[in-house]
Amino acid sequence: MGGSDVKLLIQKLLYVTDVSRGHNHLSMLLSQIRAEFLTDGEKAVMNTQIGKRCEEIEVRLIDPSLNERTICLKKWVMRKSAENFSSCYVLVKTWNMVVSDNNLQSTNVVQLWSFQVGSELCFALVECGRRGEGSSGTSGKSYGKSDSIYTRKKGEDGDNSSKNGGEGASSSHRSEGQDGASSSKKSGEDASTCPEN
């Protein structure tokens, strides 16, 4: 597949709603996203409203079993009041298939990485282990299982950028990640009229 501009976006413990068939989505708070990964054009699309909903973009996803599929990324804004709201990115449409094919549960800790293939945005989902096995949902540390899956995929593609990309994403947690969170918050304000589902 090949790829470049590899970034670690989030490491999280899956919620019950992340693995529920009735919800069919993976949610990621914008405040927890560690790096800026969308182009200006992609942001503009995702801030575009169709009726009461925000537009979505199709991306390619490599799951922990190395299956490749198309999934949709969109932004939700969750309102508590007119001035109090939070924004999140969600992966939707085929997410239930990812959960089923990889036996994901609410005890799983996962990482989501972004990378580019040409001008196309792609994601890689990595399973780090389960809660209680020494992994953390928010620490940002990499563990043996996730490293082996990620390196294996990149090695097959002849892409040597995974190591540098991973280091870049970790070191950018304080600088680029903060900038990304700020710009994500701003994006959330731009899309503040979008519904939460």
Least confident of 36-50, 96-110, 147-161: 147-161
CATH 1.10.1040.10 assigned to domain 4-190? The reply is: no
pLDDT digits (tens, 9 = 90+) for 121-151: 999 999 999 887 654 555 444 343 444 333 3
pLDDT at 18 > cutoff 90: yes
With a threshold of 0.75, does the pTM exceed it? Answer: no
- Rounded to an integer, what is the distance from CA 45 to the centroid of its chain? 17
Query: For residue 103, what are the CA distances in angstroms to 10, 19, 21, 42?
Result: 20, 9, 12, 31
- H/E element, 182: helix 176-190
Name residue, tokens 């990149």.
154
Residue 50, both tokens? 């169709």
Interatomic CA distance for residues 55 and 57, integer angstroms: 7
**Which string of b and e fits 174-196 if b means at least 16 CB within 10 Å?**
eebbeebbeebeebbebbeebee
Name the 3-class secondary structure at 172: coil
- Please give the pLDDT value at position 86: 81
If we measure between CA atoms, which residue out of 94, 105, 76 comes closest to residue 195? 76
pLDDT band of residue 83 (cuts 50, 70, 90) is confident
User: In this predicted structure, which of 8-12, 25-29, 164-168 has the lowest mean pLDDT?
Assistant: 164-168
